[in-house]
Amino acid sequence: MCKQIMCGIAGYVGPRKAVDVVFDQLKRLEYRGYDSAGVAYLENGDINVLKRAGKLNELTGLMADGTPNVHLAIAHSRWATHGAPTDENAHPHFDQFEQISIIHNGIIENYLDLKAELAQQGSEFRSDTDTEVAAHVIGCEYTEGVALEEAVRRAVKRLRGAYALVVVSKREPEKIVCARNASPLVIGLGEGETMLASDIPALLPYTRSVIILEDDRIAVLLPEGVRVTNLDGQELPVTPLHIDWDVSAAEKGGYEHFMLKEIHEQPEVVRQCLAGRVDDKGRARLDNVFGQSVWNNTDRIVIVACGTSYHAGLMGKYLFEKLLRLPTDVFHASEFRYGDPVLSPNSLALFISQSGETADTLAALKLCQARRIRTLGIVNVIGSSIARECDRTIITQAGPEISVASTKAFTAQVIALVLLMLHVAQEKEMPGVRVEEITRDLLELPELAQRAMLAEGEIIRAAEKMRDAKLVFFLGRGADALVALEGALKLKEIAYVATQESPAGEMKHGPLALVEKGVFAVMGATESEMREKLASNIKEMQARGGQVLAITTEGDDLIPKIAEFVVRLPKSGSEFLNALLSIIPMQLLAYHLARLNGCEIDQPRNLAKSVTVE
């Protein structure tokens, strides 16, 4: 299997200039990362296709004299998987008869078998893509007298894998037909216009009324609305969701980059994540999460996630074990799904995902379902696959995260984990957990997070000195060591700086050999009991020519005396919340170092927002 990162999909049918709309929608999906783009539109009974390798402006440049006055178009931004990023491999693709044109997000796993079968029947292929094979399969089914919707239905039954397929036809030029299995597809309903996209922010300027297409569904879009059917052709009722996100929440809102905007949104994100979840008695209130009988019978928590969400999971383990004494293991989803995990009926599996679409996490969830283990999700995107598939889901309420590097989602995930920990403590009646004190500290956190932003000046000063760093260590102890892992990931992915992350106490067991002049360390030092030990670690670094940026809390008079750069965070009554706050200066460091080095911050090289196929 190859690794695929989500492509952008857009489609429109209605009175506006359709090509302008789909280009605008693709622009709003640019954060996904892509290497080619294309459009298909219906004009005088013909399908016109334009596509180009490169960024969207390569494509829009082809229409420098103006876009055509047409009312139906589909468009795609591709991240190469099968075949290099070339003009030929860009979507849309025609079928063998040039009757239809399609765009696709996902991977057709049996495309080689299908391709061989089609080639025998005379199909000739112009690209190396699995998508073109899917187009030919639909072409085969789209015989005289068969409607496009039915042809797509028959075709998808022959496809194996993940797809969001969008199809237009010369024979039925007034409609768009789409089908979904495991790749996201949302439909927007407007006044006399209907549209679709692979993600909600692309639709927000046009409509707030959205249908999240489920797996194994076919939808037919006409200007007057949408008809959704299952694979047997039965029409199904649809209930549109009303999306009340502010459009500006999905745009940069005055910041130079989405990442910076999202870092600065964190005080508000904490507020939103807590909204309605702490009652006036200071108790956590999580609706729709398992109750007492389940928690009393749960003897182990298994947390499964990838990347940043995995790091949030490590904080979950810290909280569940330290405060609830509940054994907890955290797995990378990619390892878990193939690792034949030991799961007892009393285990509870917790899946953490910003997008709710990460393929490995979803596969791990399906494995737990097959083993009949209870599943709980912590997810940001409402209506996403993981949010829907888990027995219960806590939505992090962080709003759309556009920057590829995850920032505010991490903070919201950890807050959700703290709330969950409190909920379990309440359900299990554990007087040892200071629920009211912790909720009070949580409610103060937005204010503290706001004050943590004041570190930006010192961070910029440190970033200027670290511009040519050979290597940056991320160190800490306890919860600080966990947040340090996430800080290191940010620096790697955004600023392309090599990092080495480890608990500070491990340094002398090997990594210290890497320290010399030009090497820096970011040291999380928010836990007061650990400071003397961390002071020794700082000296170890300095004795070998290294320099240290220490993140400590107000009132510490030890670390600021020795570290070269110091950030003092406001102090929370709950030490693990101090550690959580330390992610803010680390995110800002990654951002400013990347900016100084001229990196493409919101779309770092080789990465994109959602990894929807293995």
Supply the residues annotated as catalytic.
7, 609
Residue 207: what residue type?
T
Q: Which residue is nearest to ligand F6R (CB)?
A: 307
Give the interface with ligand F6R as residue ranges (CB under 6 A).
306-309, 353-355, 358, 361, 405-406, 489, 493, 610-611
Between 187 and 611, name the residue whose CB sits nearer to ligand F6R.
611
Query: From CA 482, how far away is CA 479, in angstroms rounded?
Result: 5
Distances, alpha carbon 496 to alpha carbons 184, 256, 464, 584, 606, in Å: 30, 19, 15, 19, 11
Between 441 and 486, name the residue whose CB sits nearer to ligand F6R.
486
The distance of closest approach from Cβ of residue 355 to ligand F6R in the complex, given in angstroms and rounded to an integer, is: 3
Between 354 and 547, name the residue whose CB sits nearer to ligand F6R.
354
Torsion of Cα atoms, 490 then 494 then 500 then 505, to 10°: -20
408 close to 398: Cβ distance less than 8 angstroms: yes
The distance of closest approach from Cβ of residue 353 to ligand F6R in the complex, given in angstroms and rounded to an integer, is: 3
Residue 201 gets which letter from DSSP?
Answer: G
The distance of closest approach from Cβ of residue 384 to ligand F6R in the complex, given in angstroms and rounded to an integer, is: 9
611 close to 5: Cβ distance less than 8 angstroms: yes
Q: Please name the residues in contact with 573: beta carbons below 8 A apart, sequence gap of 6 or more.
A: 437, 440, 441, 444
Order of strands, sheet of 8-13, starting from the edge strand that comes earlier in the sequence: 46-53, 36-43, 72-78, 8-13, 194-197, 186-189, 209-212, 241-242
Between 129 and 587, name the residue whose CB sits nearer to ligand F6R.
587
> Collapsing DSSP states into helix, strand and coil, what is residue 382?
coil
The distance of closest approach from Cβ of residue 443 to ligand F6R in the complex, given in angstroms and rounded to an integer, is: 26
Distances, alpha carbon 5 to alpha carbons 51, 79, 425, in Å: 19, 6, 39
Between 265 and 556, name the residue whose CB sits nearer to ligand F6R.
265
Query: From CA 32, how far away is CA 34, in angstroms rounded?
Result: 7
Tokens representing residue 545 in the block: 């020519």
The distance of closest approach from Cβ of residue 495 to ligand F6R in the complex, given in angstroms and rounded to an integer, is: 12
The distance of closest approach from Cβ of residue 124 to ligand F6R in the complex, given in angstroms and rounded to an integer, is: 38
In terms of Cβ atoms closer than 10 Å to its own Cβ (0-12, 13-18, 19+), residue 249 is middle
Closest CA to 156 of 142, 143, 144: 142
Between 159 and 378, name the residue whose CB sits nearer to ligand F6R.
378
Query: From CA 182, how far away is CA 385, in angstroms rounded?
Result: 8
Q: Please name the residues in contact with 280: beta carbons below 8 A apart, sequence gap of 6 or more.
A: none
Query: From CA 336, how far away is CA 296, in angstroms rounded?
Result: 25
The distance of closest approach from Cβ of residue 15 to ligand F6R in the complex, given in angstroms and rounded to an integer, is: 36
Q: Please name the residues in contact with 130: beta carbons below 8 A apart, sequence gap of 6 or more.
A: 81, 82, 104, 107, 108, 111, 161
Between 36 and 308, name the residue whose CB sits nearer to ligand F6R.
308
The distance of closest approach from Cβ of residue 366 to ligand F6R in the complex, given in angstroms and rounded to an integer, is: 15
Between 197 and 507, name the residue whose CB sits nearer to ligand F6R.
197
